Structure 1
Amino acid sequence: MMSAPATTLQDIIAHAKEYGFVFPSSEIYDGLQAVYDYGQNGVELKNNLKNVWWKAMTQLHDNIVGVDAAIFMHPLTWKASGHIDGFNDPMIDNKDSKKRYRADQLLEGKAELLTNAGKEDEANALLAKMGKLLGDEDLEAVRELIISENIVCPVSGTLNWTEVRQFNLMFSTKIGSVADDSSTIYLRPETAQGIFVNFLNVQKSGRMKVPFGISQIGKAFRNEIVARQFIFRMREFEQMEMQFFVRPGTEMEWYNKWKETRLSFHKAIGLPAESLKYHDHDKLAHYANAAVDIEYKFPFGFREIEGIHSRTDFDLSNHQALSKKKQQYFDPSIDPETNKPYGNYIPYVVETSVGADRLFLATFCNAFTKEMVGEGDKQKERTYMKLHPALAPVKAAVLPLVKKDGLAELGQEIANSLKSSFRTVYDDGGAIGKRYTRQDLIGTPFCIAVDYETKDDNCVTIRHRDTMEQERVPISELKERIGKEVAVERILEAI
């Protein structure tokens, strides 16, 4: 039997647009680079992913609550967090092509080529050297390293590089009616700081006891030098973050716990274990004492979809120093070593940070399925979206065999009876085989066929997306049967 061809990123992009998942933003004006809109099916899938993440955090854990902080924050927030002084990427231009690149990504690309060629030691040595030079902020040496490694511009094919410059990734704007320096504010580059500045508000109003967590889903903005690989890296994106506040000295225990918990989440939503792996950070961010990425195997290789970081007390301590407002927690529990209360301390933080758009892309890539069906001369390729039923944009489609003889009216009645329980659509356009295919292509797990026998036995035929098997089911059982399969509980139970 012939196997279906391997999936490429272009396959994913084309399918996402063709079937209403993701569109280029402002496409009638030729689009805006690295900005995308979610279509009618994409917004449902993304909302389902956000919903299951939110429930996995706030519903499964008694000590985690949520907030929704403003995008605009006081500018000193970003001074305290280090973003104003240190949120930079190394930028380099090719003088011949006039194209701009991130210097570190050029070197990482060369390391990936070396790895693919079986020269993993050379690749690791190159990455280690790059990490040291960037850590030392020796940008001229970074340029020399690019040239010595013969890394040419992909467009011009030349080594005619400019110097390397640091480029701050924050978008700035003005607030108020007078545009002067004092009115400059920033679009947030991450959602975490909205949690940190509300640490005491949540702790006191919710009477929270350490350890506890605060979750948030929200937009963030980064003026990426090179945004690429579809929605994997965008200038406007959405994060799902949870900051978990712990007693100093216990952070590694919680760090390891959250590593395992978050990997279980990704498996529970349907991402296979063989397509997931941990990647420990060699070079830690300024705020971390441990960091690991959960990576998914995209068509373009393993890339990060979530980071778990032990952030120490960096954020709360800096906010305390700059705001002159204490960010301490009084812990009345007894220290077994001193037999006294732990007392006042600034909590340490373990962070879990998921890119909602990257999780969407991983889920989409994993679900996109091409397979050969049939035998001999009748064999053909079948494409469908193998989404977890709880994540699918549409849970069930009601399809009357024909429009006449009362089947259309009966089908609409069935669809209306299910809509209050889960997203159901009614479709009577065209041959029923083509309607099955339409639903396969957006990932609908159950199609309900209404035929002439339905009028006599009050039963319908459910067609299962993945196997294409069909079974006869009483109309009275549809809501319970399908409702159980598409419920978010199926994912939460698996975490």
Structure 2
Amino acid sequence: MPAATLDEVVALCKRRGLIFPASEIYGGIANTYDYGHYGVLLKRNVSDLWWKAMIQERDDIVALDSAIIQHPRTWEASGHLAGFSDPLVQCLGKCKRRFRLDTLQEEAEARGEDPETVKCPVCGGDLTEPRAFNLMFQTTIGPVQEDGSTVFLRPETAQGIFLDFKTTLSFARKKPPFGIAQIGKSFRNEITPANFIFRTLEFEQMEMEFFVPPDEAQQWYEYWCQERLNWYTRLGIRSENLRLRPHDPEELSHYSSGTSDVEYLYAGTWRELEGVANRGNFDLTQHSEYSGKNLEYKDPQTGEGYLPHVIEPAAGLGRTVLALLCDAYDEDEIGGEKRTVLRLHPSVAPVKVAVLPLLRKDGHPEKAREIYLELRKRMSTEYDEGGNIGKRYRRQDEIGTPYAVTVDHQTLEDGTVTLRDRDSLTQERIPVEGIADELEGRVTNRT
């Protein structure tokens, strides 16, 4: 069963060093997190699989890594400078805390209460009238703050792609329909960041802008909605915990003719995992106007120019990691003892195979190291000889390692090892000879 509460996942992540609060020795900063060794490997596996789906397995998308700090006019053209804000309210009671009014109203509606009469959720005090709070982080270029030196950390990765659209056309040898993809950090000064790594001040986006002829926009929008939903099931997330939810008309951005969210059932609550939007030609139109540059694509056969429409699948890397952790979290019982296990698909598991000597003597460590050194050339492998074998199995279960190879006395006699399966708990003897091929096949073909 997936995690019943987010607290269970948070505790496991802290205990095993996957993800933990940043700056913790100084008390931390609200919703900033560091990824430890296994968290880094998990996140890297997800981003590699996204690149594989976008670039390696297709010939109509190219890669980009745009700058975090763009020209300030970028955010005027995109509308972020004027309109990228949340409704901020502050408690007039004892606690003086600040909140997003729309979030408080959504929570009140979910409880069956009147959203127009919300109070402070901490102390029950009255709230101020809402005011617009811009979410962009502002900074300056140069040694002194002066006119013209103000810049912003990007709140999304999309605008860098739009700015580089014409440049990419000049060398990529592509024509619409084609896409530009990138993974990168974005920054949002959230009023009330919450829910672990679901909403944080800095986060990584996996974003692709797919440029299409205007009359093909709807069919590509429908295609990418389904394609992105399917990608999550290929990561091992259970289909019953995923859904595609089209936005109601009142939810749509002014430039969007259609937006759908891929949602995941996070600990009993449906939340956005990825958005797929039909953005029309709004962005290229805005940047053409503000820059004075012609961003039209000119068809070499007809000579006609047009601004492509854009289909945008935009996913959060941290949200994907969180969905995988929630979906893989499980508890069962072995020999009367509770076991916590992450049933991660091998494609995303931080470690694919653990090599464990049964004893720290009698030649077991030497043979286990030999096997470990062979396996790590082919896959992410870990060697562990600390503690009894049962505790080492439990540790590997908690970080999601699908297989464990144990070296024992019989290994030295007949050249076989015990192979333990994380999920079924079956143990079988397999020969050391050819073990890398055998395990690579199991990892690759495991469903």
Aligned counterpart for 2:341 among listed residues 384, 388, 403: 384
**1:414/1:82 CA distance change after superposition, 3 Å:** same
**Aligned residue runs from structure 1 range 427-466, under 5 A:** 427-466=384-423
Amino acid of the residue matched to residue 305 of structure 1?
A: L
CA distance in 1, matches of 2:429, 2:136: 57
For residues 446-494 of structure 1, what are the alpha-carbon distances to aligned partners after superposition, in whole Å with 9 as ceiling and x for unaligned? 100111111122111110101110111111222112213334xx69xx9
How far off its partner does 1:281 sit?
Answer: 1.4
Question: Which SS does the other structure have where 1:181 is aligned?
Answer: coil
How big is each residue's C-alpha offset from its partner over 1:399-436, in whole Å with a ceiling of 9 and x where there is no partner? 11111111110100110011111111111112111111
- CA pair 194-5 structure 1, distance change in 2 beyond 3 A: closer
Residues 325, 437 of structure 1: alpha-carbon distance in 2 compared, 3 angstrom cutoff: same
Distance in 1, Cα, partners of 2:225 & 2:411: 51
1:298 and 2:296 equivalent? no
- 2:254 alignment counterpart: 286
- SS at structure 2 position matched to 1:109: helix
1:318 aligns with 2:286: yes
Find 1:60's aligned residue among 57, 60, 63: 57
Q: Is the 8 A contact 2:3 2:327 kept in 1?
A: no
Q: Secondary structure at the match of 2:52?
A: helix
CA distance in 1, matches of 2:56, 2:433: 31
Alignment of 1:47-446 (within 5 A): 47-96=44-93, 97-114=95-112, 146-147=116-117, 151-158=118-125, 160-282=126-248, 283-299=251-267, 301-332=269-300, 341=302, 343-373=304-334, 378-446=335-403
Match for residue 484 of structure 1? Answer: 441
**Does the 8 A contact of 2:89 with 2:127 survive in 1?**
yes
Whole-angstrom CA distance in 2 between matches of 1:15 and 1:6: 11
Q: Which moved more, 1:195-204 or 1:324-333?
A: 324-333
Count of aligned residue pairs for this structure pair? 444
- Asked if 1 retains the 8 angstrom alpha-carbon contact of 2:354 and 2:403, the reply is yes
Post-superposition CA distance 1:229-286 (Å, at most 9, x none): 1110001001000100000021110000001100110011011111011222121113
Shift of 1:217: 0.2
CA–CA distance in 1 between the matches of 2:371 and 2:438? Answer: 14
TM-score by structure 2 length? Answer: 0.96
Identify the residue that residue 425 of structure 2 maps to in structure 1. 468
> 1:361 is matched by which residue type in structure 2?
L
Q: 1:6 to 1:368 in 2, by over 3 A?
A: closer
Partner AA of 1:49 in structure 2: V
State whether residues 2 and 267 of structure 2, in contact with CA within 8 Å, keep that contact through their aligned partners in structure 1: no
Where 1:177 maps in the other structure, the secondary structure is: coil
Distance 2:313 2:2 in 1: 36
Query: Does the CA-based 8 Å contact 2:139-2:152 persist in structure 1?
Result: yes
Is the contact made by 1:240 and 1:355 (CA closer than 8 Å) also made in structure 2? yes
Q: Summarize the alignment of residues 1-16 of structure 1 with structure 2, pairs less than 5 Å apart.
A: 7-16=4-13
CA distance in 2, matches of 1:255, 1:198: 22
- Shift, 1:95, TM fit: 0.4
SS at match of 1:34: coil
Long gaps (5+) in structure 1: 115-122, 127-144, 334-340
What are the within-5 Å matches in structure 2 for residues 37-52 of structure 1?
A: 37-52=34-49
What CA distance in whole angstroms lies between the structure 2 residues aligned with 1:19 and 1:180?
47
Give the drift of 1:381: 2.1
Looking at structure 2, the residues matched to 406 and 155 of structure 1 have their Cα atoms a distance apart, in angstroms, of 61
Partner of 1:310: helix, strand, or coil? strand
**SS state of the match for residue 214, structure 2?**
coil
Q: Deviations over 1:154-185 (max 9, x none)?
A: 11123x11111000000000001231131000
Give the Cα separation in 2 of the matches to 1:266 and 1:53.
10
Cα distance in 1 for residues equivalent to 2:194 and 2:288: 37
Shift of 1:300: 5.1
- Structure 2 Cα separation of the partners of residues 192 and 215 of structure 1: 9
RMSD: 1.7
What SS does the aligned partner of 2:433 have?
helix
Kindly, what percent of the aligned residue pairs are identical? 46
Aligned amino acid, residue 287 of structure 1: Y
Task: State the TM-score, normalizing by the size of structure 1.
Answer: 0.87
